[in-house]
Amino acid sequence: MNWDLTKLYRDFNDPSYDKDIEDCKALAEKLLADGGDMPWEAVIEDLKALSALTLKTYAFAQLTLAADANCAPAMAATGRVLPVLNRAKEVYSALSMRLKDADIDALCVGSPLLHEHAYLLKVLKRDAAHVIDPALEPVVLKMQLTGGSAWVQLRDQLEANLTADYDGKAIPLSAVRNLAYSPDAKIRRAAYDAELAAYPKIEIPMAACLNGIKGEANTLTELKHFDSVLDMALDSARMDRATLDALLTAMDESLPMFRRYFRLKAKLLGYEGGLKFWDLFAPVGRMRGDYTPEDARRILVDELGAFSPRMGSMISRAFDERWIDMYPREGKAGGAFCEGMHPLKQSFVLTNFDGSYSAVSTLAHELGHAYQNECMNEVSILLSDYPMPLAETASIFNETLLAERMLEKADRDAQIALLEQQLADGAQVIVDIYSRFLFESEVVERRKNAVLSAKELCNIMLDAQKKTYGDGLDPEALHPYMWACKSHYYATDVHFYNFPYAFGQLFALGVYALYRQRGAAFLPDYEKLLRDAGSGDIREVANSVGIDVADVDFWRTSLKVFEDKLNALTALANNA
């Protein structure tokens, strides 16, 4: 099953694609020339049109490249659209400066349209403190096209075209990484060895990409008057340092518990001591591993649709209308993601489906994102850009809901498999994410004064893994190239693309606990939470459902869920 991008444009020769790019340019130039004098209602309407056009034109190129990294027309189209996006950034900077001394509440009086967009206006006013000098901004943005943006494109092409030598054949890296879920220990080990042997082929250009992107981040931090790259990331996430500190404190406290889980898993796999890295995703217990897309559809519609008929209907549409690009292939990006397409009132989902329960759970995760996008179809496109930490709420909620539904029907072996799967997923989002946070913190700091070699990046990664996984993993069987594996390090607009996942995991568990307390009556509040995620700062949005995310006890309570699951898994393992 491949997705159908013709809903956006027929192809890159489609006249409407050229027209939309030209309309983008015209709107951006109009706002730059006249935005200082236009009524704010007219500005908002033009911004809505500009957002829709930039989203469609850029997404068409990027989605095409995600499915085929070697598509030359998509590469050329990206080169055409990026300068337009830069002009759009200049528009927002100019509008921020116009609002620098404005009274937003007074501005919105008597205008339903401005009242609807009051939060956007407040964000623009706040952003005025971090606008690059107008004399420099156009040049800086233009240089980014041959700087950070170019490094990102190179990185994506390197990964998508990298093959690993496995079983005498050269196969795509994404397919090799999927073998980490194999029930056969020999296959997992061989895939791990093949993966690590493949990265040296691209380690020098990959290191150059990372150095270029993080060097640019340090420069932009200065130009935008932030104290650090992390502060810039927190501002983008609409999150304060107190919330991050509370989250990290609870995560650090949970590490011994997760290390017990890793050692228990090693024991379940037949050996003592720390878990081997290649066994992190090894299946334990027994579940089906031959799910088809039709099986996945039925399960997700039945189980998730029982919670929300609206979601069940949306999942059916996603399959019927080909929102999903399902299988791995050469040139296709690894992993999975969901791209919301507000102008079309739908989403596009990429996965690398392999028939495992994990693949079904991943699909539930990505369709959770699509469900949030479905809820946000009710709001203005200008309020549909929600911060990264809240982006994981619906996806993790879906994973949790699916696992709990499956647990209710499972026999002992399947219960072991499901509990272990939940702990494995939690460990990735807490332990591994923490290692990524430590890695990126070190890289950003050291990049201020030096260019880091591939060997140094590997050593920093190993050190971060040892600090977080501790004796839970075998120190002789780690993954030094995780910095090359994860695309998140290479995002130019979202640095520290790691802690939002931990936030999302634990916040979603807190939201799921509210659902367990209130049952079906919680659904309207849940959909409102998803809908309003782009209409407030994180603490405001969380407070709307009674959660204080700056309180470390909230995060401890969410983490207690994993301790309970570990105790249940231990009991099942001991009663074999």
Instruction: Give tens-digit pLDDT for 230-247.
Output: 999 999 999 999 999 999
The predicted structure's pLDDT at residue 576: 60
Gap between the Cα atoms of 573 and 416, Å rounded: 8
Residue 145 pLDDT: 86
Domains annotated for the chain, with CATH where assigned, are 5-135 (1.20.140)
pLDDT 10s digits, 279-299: 999 989 887 778 999 999 999
Residue 49: what are its φ and ψ, rounded to 5°?
-65, -40
Q: At which residue do the structure tokens 């233009």 appear?
A: 142
pTM: 0.86
Q: Which pLDDT band, with edges at 50, 70 and 90, does 318 fall under? A: very high
> For the stretch 212-221, what's the b/e string if a residue is b when 16 or more beta carbons lie within 10 angstroms of its beta carbon?
bbbbbbbbbb
CA distance 472 to 256: 8
- What is the H or E stretch that residue 408 is in? helix 393-409
- The region that residue 486 occupies, defined by phi over 0 for left and psi between -120 and 50 for alpha, beta otherwise, is beta
Dist CA 255 CA 502 (whole Å): 13
391: Cβ contacts below 8 Å, ≥ 6 apart: 369, 372, 500, 504, 533
In sequence order, what DSSP letters do the residues of 478-502 get, joined into one string? --TTHHHH-GGGG-SS-SS-SHHHH
pLDDT band at 454 (very low <50, low <70, confident <90, very high): very high
- At residue 287, the pLDDT reads 78
Specify whether the CB–CB gap between 521 and 453 falls below 8 A. Answer: no
pLDDT digits (tens, 9 = 90+) for 406-427: 888 888 988 999 999 899 989 9
pLDDT over 80 (residue 52): yes
* Alpha-carbon distances, residue 132 vs 96, 99, 147, 226 (angstroms): 11, 15, 17, 11
Alpha helices in 224-323 (DSSP H): 229-236, 241-268, 293-307, 309-320
* CB contact at 8 A, 155 and 487: yes
* Confidence at 493, pLDDT banded by 50, 70, 90: confident
Instruction: Give the separation between CA 161 and CA 334, rounded to whole angstroms.
Output: 11
pLDDT (0 to 100) of residue 197: 97
- Comparing 18-27, 128-137, 255-264, the range with the smallest average pLDDT is 128-137
3-class state of residue 193 by DSSP: helix
* pLDDT tens, residue by residue, 390-411: 998 999 999 999 999 988 888 8
Higher pLDDT pick, 69 / 258: 258
The 10 Å CB-count burial string (b at 16+, else e) for 12-27 is: beeeebeebbebbbeb
Query: Contact 332/68 with Cβ under 8 angstroms?
Result: yes
% residues pLDDT > 70 (the chain): 100
